[in-house]
Structure 1
Amino acid sequence: MKEEVASAPLTLRDIARQAGVSLATVDRVLHNRPGVRPDTVRRVREAIERNAFQPHVAAAELARGRARRFAFVMPSGPNLFMQQIEAYLGEMSGWLSARRLSVEVIATDVFDPMVLTDCLEQLAGDFDGVAVVALDHPSVRAAINDLVDSGTEIVTLVSDVPSSRRHHYVGIDNIAAGRSAGALVGRLVRARQGKVAIIAGSQGLRDHAERIFGFNQVMASEFAGLDVLPVLEGRDDDARSEELTARLLRDHPDMVGLYNVGAGTPGVAKALIESGRDKQVVFVGHDVTVLTRKLLLQGVMDAAISQNPGHEARAAVRVLLALARGEPILSEQEKIRIDIVMRDNLP
């Protein structure tokens, strides 16, 4: 499934039409020439800001002689965090157009290595750059390397494949995120004994595997009295995550903590609420969405390990553009921070 995010680049004529003025008036405003009424100046500047229009950048891109196309390969299904990234890409349309860029969002099953591999193989020759939420699997790794060999710039997004020849990774330090989750669960449980459950989307996703590794590191070194149960995989599916959580609650009446590594949060929360143990089991998950905000306010969820989806969307596009132009990547600007969000500091 392909969704076109950016269309043809905006021109000065487009700005003039939106502001309801002539092209000459727009030119006077841009060059701070006299003879334009303040209200007209305001309308022109509002149109420029609304579209993130940068005429000098646009002119430079036009001089290069061609537009560039980027693809974002994203998970299919109701993953609210990934939907936020897609929404922010849509909000960048004016910025993209000014640089003669277009972005297509391609939804696929990133949990199935063969499906994801086939998706990546079909992109060869069609795009200047690809950002992919990737499964760390030999077939996926080979598909990424083939795209690199074909001249495509590759950025892994949220979940990395470090053994591939991808050019850059955009995302948080997932081991640190897992360690943060472990510290939160251990401290909030306040019990010396009990069981702690982990539900992941897939341990084949590098971000999930690294979060689990970091979580277990802290559990083993700082909270030896807590018994960490084997990881269960919910594939970021709400119904499956609900079923797994209900089973855990039924089989382990002494369960005191739960770490949800990926999506599937609605299912986990529903099972906790229906069991009546939502205030007894410490629940830590990821990302601030409309749903997790509500769960934090209700006290069902104790904390969310958050990463900024808007920053990730912008960083991935900026990195792909820098790679395509042969320009340096501003590492500090593109670094994605980890935030710990609780009910008392909800943004």
Structure 2
Amino acid sequence: MRPTVHDIAAKAGVSLATVDRVLNNRPGVRGVTRDKVERAIETLGYVRDVAAANLAKSRSYPLVFILPEGDNTFMRGLAAEVEAAKARSAIERTAITILSVPAFDRVALARALGEARALGPAGVAVVAIDAPEVVAAVDALRSDGIAVVTLVSDLPGSTRDHFAGVDNVAAGRTAGALMGRFLGGRDGPVAIVAGSMLVRDHRDRVEGFSAAMAESAAGRQLLPIVEGHDDPAEVERLVGGLMADHADLAGIYNLGAGNRGLIAALEASGRGKDVCAVAHELTPHSRAALTSGTIDALLNQDAGHEVRSAIRVLKARADGLAVISAQERIRIEIFLKDNLPVDPA
């Protein structure tokens, strides 16, 4: 049974009126009380029934999602989640338009944001590239009163309303802590493979990883970052070159996509079990590599939660309602071969 406002009130030890004030961000609630209510919301997993409220108001919300093209398994999964949300449009009273742009193309992304602005939607969700023209396009949307949520990769220099994604500095730190522990006394440098340093999430992961490695594996050499543009073939070529150039390579952190290339290069080298590999996103390929021991650890983010969160925030902003931070927090999942969830396939 889904938790209700009555459950929140009982859990927090407050009145229904206080819960209502917190949910609607109204004044008159002490900070300590607000914290108690928000903790209760998070503990219970309360999700506001926006659909029922929308039905009562007979309101529909036109939304635009702007997603990158390409052979990125995680992004294709994200697109599938948006399509699933589109299929729920009648229930959630949304009208979702999907625009696709070439990956890491900031000019094309700025142009797509302009196209979205011309449609006059209630809100836009976008996988951002941290570039001046993209910031300007997002700010233009906000100046028109159109809500903007950045998805997966943030754009903090803009006036965007909300970021639906994990804390990527923390994700990088987690990867660095895992790498440092797994390496133990093994000698040799560690390689970092990014998709593109144009995107904020990849830069944040590098920052966190480097800091954690300095703490957990002081003195360990980190090789210069290479960019695989989330392309499996390019990642395979780059990792193959790293393996050939560094016979003592101890570890590889793949902080973007292209895990198929990482796996292929490790297995082709015959050193897949000797080199510690930490990567992101649970996909069929990375799951198999984690099970076989080619990859040692995976950090995952829930694409479905990110899409649902983006929609909730955009609708709330369109209605002038507050966002419940506990409900929209995207968590970092850590998977080893020992705690893999049951394969839905």
Q: TM-score range by the shorter chain?
A: 0.7 to 0.9
Q: Percent identity?
A: 43
SS at match of 2:176: helix
CA distance in structure 1 between the aligned counterparts of 2:114 and 2:207, rounded to whole angstroms: 31
Q: Does 1:59 find its partner at 2:52?
A: no
**1:261-280 counterparts in 2 under 5 A?**
261-280=255-274
**Corresponding letter in the other structure for 1:59:** L
CA distance in structure 2 between the aligned counterparts of 1:54 and 1:315, rounded to whole angstroms: 12
CA distance in structure 2 between the aligned counterparts of 1:244 and 1:257, rounded to whole angstroms: 14
Q: CA deviation at 1:285?
A: 0.5
CA distance in structure 2 between the aligned counterparts of 1:268 and 1:54, rounded to whole angstroms: 42
Q: Does 1:88 find its partner at 2:81?
A: yes
Q: Does 1:258 find its partner at 2:280?
A: no
Is the radius of gyration larger for structure 1 or structure 2?
1
Map of 2:171 onto structure 1: 177
Q: CA deviation at 1:267?
A: 0.7
Query: CA 1:188–1:122 in 2, change beyond 3 Å: closer, same or farther?
Result: same
Map of 1:191 onto structure 2: 185
Q: CA deviation at 1:159?
A: 0.5
**Among 292, 305, 308, the residue aligned to 2:302:** 308
**Among 100, 110, 119, the residue aligned to 1:107:** 100
**1:110-125 counterparts in 2 under 5 A?**
110-125=103-118
**Corresponding letter in the other structure for 1:60:** A
Q: Does 1:159 find its partner at 2:153?
A: yes
Q: CA deviation at 1:281?
A: 0.6
SS at match of 1:139: helix
CA distance in structure 2 between the aligned counterparts of 1:207 and 1:55, rounded to whole angstroms: 31
**Corresponding letter in the other structure for 1:104:** T
Q: Does 1:294 find its partner at 2:288?
A: yes
Q: Does 1:247 find its partner at 2:265?
A: no
CA distance in structure 2 between the aligned counterparts of 1:173 and 1:56, rounded to whole angstroms: 31
SS at match of 1:320: helix
Q: CA deviation at 1:132?
A: 0.6
What are the ranges of 5 or more consecutive residues in structure 2 without an aligned counterpart? 1-48
SS at match of 2:117: coil
CA distance in structure 1 between the aligned counterparts of 2:50 and 2:301, rounded to whole angstroms: 28
Q: Does 1:69 find its partner at 2:62?
A: yes
Q: CA deviation at 1:276?
A: 0.7
Q: CA deviation at 1:110?
A: 3.7
CA distance in structure 2 between the aligned counterparts of 1:218 and 1:289, rounded to whole angstroms: 26
SS at match of 2:221: strand
Map of 2:15 onto structure 1: none
Q: Is the 8 A contact 1:242 1:270 kept in 2?
A: yes
**Corresponding letter in the other structure for 2:61:** R
Q: CA deviation at 1:98?
A: 2.2
Q: CA deviation at 1:139?
A: 1.1
SS at match of 1:328: coil
Q: Is the 8 A contact 1:196 1:228 kept in 2?
A: yes
What are the ranges of 5 or more consecutive residues in structure 1 without an aligned counterpart? 1-52
Q: CA deviation at 1:105?
A: 2.1
Q: Deviations over 1:87-145 (max 9, x none)?
A: 22333346431232111222212412112111111211312211111011111111111
CA distance in structure 2 between the aligned counterparts of 1:94 and 1:244, rounded to whole angstroms: 39
Q: CA deviation at 1:225?
A: 3.4
Q: Does 1:234 find its partner at 2:204?
A: no
Please, what is the CA RMSD of the aligned residues? 1.7
Q: Is the 8 A contact 2:51 2:92 kept in 1?
A: no
CA distance in structure 1 between the aligned counterparts of 2:84 and 2:292, rounded to whole angstroms: 31
SS at match of 1:69: strand
Range moving further from structure 2, 160-169 or 96-105: 96-105
CA distance in structure 1 between the aligned counterparts of 2:281 and 2:93, rounded to whole angstroms: 32
Give the length in aligned residue pairs: 292
**1:11-26 counterparts in 2 under 5 A?**
none
Map of 2:202 onto structure 1: 208
Q: Deviations over 1:149-205 (max 9, x none)?
A: 122110001110101000111111100100000011111111253110000001111
Q: Deviations over 1:32-57 (max 9, x none)?
A: xxxxxxxxxxxxxxxxxxxxx99854
Query: CA 1:55–1:262 in 2, change beyond 3 Å: closer, same or farther?
Result: closer
**Corresponding letter in the other structure for 1:323:** R
SS at match of 1:106: strand
Q: Is the 8 A contact 1:57 1:98 kept in 2?
A: no
Q: CA deviation at 1:308?
A: 1.0
CA distance in structure 1 between the aligned counterparts of 2:127 and 2:219, rounded to whole angstroms: 36
Q: TM-score, normalised by structure 2?
A: 0.81
